[in-house]
Structure 1
Amino acid sequence: MVSLALYYESLCPYSANFIVNYLDKLFEDDELLSIVDLYLSPWGNAKIRGNDTFVCQHGPYECLLNTVEACAIHAWPKLEDHFPFVYCVERLVYERKYPEWESCFEELGLDPKTISECYTGGYGDELELEYAAETNALQPPHKYVPWVVVDGQPLYEDYEDFITYICKAYKGTATPEACSKPSGYSIQRSKAKAKPIPPVCYRDTIISTLLEKIKSEISLWMQ
């Protein structure tokens, strides 16, 4: 098995984009999914304050959704049980409809009671502090989210090509068909056709805000 870990935060639009448009590809290929041990860590760039309280990069609603997703992962530990819920919530984030996140219970036929008791009763905060400890102990430290790690090695800006690295790390004999595809799965890319660096939410809010401002100025200039 190849370990694949995603460190993310719920309201980072680039985390949502990765989960909805990239990570979901794993679940479209049973053969590929069978060689992957996927781990989700919904903490990201949040920071611990005094008395075991914490603040999130995108505000209180992000703290709520991080905690809700942590509760779902705890309540439904099997990947096939919790990922659809996380995907549903992040799809609504991607569509800018995240205040409607509770609709995911009805959509997936899930009982909201367990999750509600978890995040309103304080246990969700305990789970989040555990994710905080794991995230803050990463070596090398994470610089931004989504932070994707394959077999202990961060992929940095190449995170969208995570399938390439899964295939490279896999040591089994029955190679998934996806790993035999010549295009789109090669780590070697010509400089002439190098992909642009995918956007991220930086750990340092000042850097993140400055880069977003620069991107906005460039966009206006190009218009």
Structure 2
Amino acid sequence: MKLSVLFVVFLLLCVHRRSSGSHPKPSCRYPPSQWCRSLEIAIECRVQKQCMELNAIRANQSVPPVSVTLYYESLCPACRAFISQQLFPTWTMLQDIMTVTLVPYGNAKELPSGNSPFTCQHGEPECRGNLIEACIIHLTGHSAFQIINCMESAVDVLNAAQPCLQLYTRSVSWSTVESCVKGDLGYQLMHANAAMTRALNPAHTHVPWVTFNGVKH
């Protein structure tokens, strides 16, 4: 039941985002994270049925959360829009029943040798972006998704990395991230992301690529 509710809300977000592009003043005045805060808001945003279903399953904490894994690229326009407009708002509202794993790699290629061990669809800047985000995800734990969303929502993803990190966490310094990016840890993280992406079955054909509980839908 939890997975079906997650799909309903996820699809609802997709429809809401698409429709809002053609209507400058949508009827709902609240962000997705507030839709189920009260009955009045749910009615105004036309999600009362989904909120009732969501509240019904929240009481059952013994049910494991739905695992959502996103395979993406840091500079891919479609990936950036998907993260900031669909996946992050969904997670914000449903993080108590869903977990999100981010795998920055996508259509990159791992080379057997050479000074640059990876090539990326959008060039060297994207390889650096993937590496920075892999290090941030590894180092910052629960704050990682907020930082990545901040970066992917910015005009310049790479230049946003340091201020986004400082905005959402005080426990990890930018110098620690840079050490990861320049050292063996960064390479190990990217190699692991490459292996996860290659292991997809069916193999990914585009990005963003999303699996629910390990299964492509």
2-structure distance, mates of 1:119, 1:24: 25
Q: Any conservation in 1 of the 2:73–2:207 contact (CA below 8 Å)?
A: yes
Q: Match for residue 6 of structure 1?
A: 70
Deviation at 1:51, TM superposition (A): 2.4
* Aligned residue in 1 for 2:108: 46
Determine which structure has greater relative contact order: mean sequence separation of CA pairs < 8 Å that are 6+ residues apart, divided by chain length. 1
Task: Give the alignment partner of residue 139 of structure 1, picking from 201, 205, 213.
Answer: 201
Q: Is the 8 A contact 2:110 2:119 kept in 1?
A: yes
Q: TM-score, normalised by structure 2?
A: 0.64
From 167, 176, 192, the equivalent of 1:130 is 192
Equivalence for 1:108? 168
Aligned CA distance change for structure 1 residues 117 and 36 (closer, same or farther; 3 Å): same
Q: Does 1:86 align with 2:145?
A: no
Task: Tell me how large the CA RMSD over aligned residues is.
Answer: 1.6
Identity %: 37
Report deviation, 1:153: 2.1
- What whole-Å deviation, never above 9, does each CA across 1:123-170 have from its counterpart, x for those lacking one? 212100110001001100000100011122213xxxxxxxxxxxxxxx
Shift of 1:90: 0.7
Offset of residue 15 of structure 1? 0.4
Where in structure 1 are there 5+ consecutive unaligned residues?
156-223
Equivalent in the alignment of 2:10: none
* Alignment correspondent of 1:121: 183
Number of aligned pairs? 148
Structure 1 stretches of 4+ with a deviation exceeding 4 A read none
Q: Whole-Å Cα distance in 2 between the matches of residues 65 and 122 of structure 1?
A: 16
1:50-82, Cα deviation, whole Å (9 max, x unpaired): 22811011001101010111001111223xx11
Q: TM-score, normalised by structure 1?
A: 0.62
Measure, in 2, the Cα distance between the counterparts of 1:8 and 1:50.
Answer: 22
For residues 157 and 203 of structure 2, the distance between their equivalents in structure 1, rounded to whole angstroms, comes to: 29
